Amino acid sequence: MAEQYLIPAVFELIFICLLILLSRNAYYGYKSVNWKHVPGKLLYFRIVRSRVFSVKVKYEYEVEGKLYTGKRISFFNPGYGSENEINTNKQLNKIKNGDFDVYYDESSKMSTLVTGFEGLATSIFLSVLLIAGMVSIAYAALHGM
């Protein structure tokens, strides 16, 4: 009898972890709008292709004489359909040309290049899917399906 609840419980745990991760990113995306900012220096800019195209960066910035490095572009990094889409993106071109500010949180030492909610619609859609998945798995487990 207990085995019928094990697999749904594992999936529930996975869904909950993903929902927590999305919520965390939404929280920091929201908070980052009010973070202080300083000019950044680009260390590398790389286009990566897996199922979709994405951008990996590394940058450094200085706060009160101390040098920090960061890798985050935004808290909701979108995937891109092509390399051309990346090359024509105004925000990414500014970063690639070294014309960007780094937004940082003094207490957590987190940084980002884009504040707010880039990719918010996708995150909301994924959150709804995760919640629907959790509900359907719980329903199936409770009704022996």
| pLDDT single digits (tens) 8-26 | 677 777 877 877 887 788 8
What is the predicted pLDDT for the residue at 1? 47
- The reported pLDDT for the residue numbered 69 is 97
pLDDT at 98: 93
- Please state, in angstroms and as integers, the Cα–Cα distance from residue 97 to each residue in 6, 44, 48, 82, 140, following that order: 51, 11, 18, 20, 53
Identify the pLDDT of residue 70.
97
Residues 5 and 66 in one domain: no
Q: Does 45 share its domain with 100?
A: yes
Same domain for 18 and 67: no
Phi, psi of 113 (to 5 degrees): -95, -25
Radius of gyration (C-alpha) of the chain in whole angstroms: 19
Total count of domains within the chain: 2
Residues 6 and 71 in one domain: no
Q: Are residues 44 and 3 in the same domain?
A: no
Based on the fold, state whether residues 62 and 127 are members of the same structural domain: no
- How many angstroms separate the Cα of 59 from the Cα of each of 2, 71, 73, 99? 50, 6, 10, 12
Domain that holds residue 98: 34-115
More confident residue, 38 or 76: 38
Do 126 and 70 fall within a single domain? Answer: no
pLDDT of residue 84: 93
Residue-wise pLDDT for 60-99, tens only, equals: 999 999 999 999 999 877 788 899 999 999 999 999 999 9
62 and 83 belong to one structural domain? yes
Residue 121 pLDDT exceeds 80: no
Residues 102, 123, single domain; the answer is no
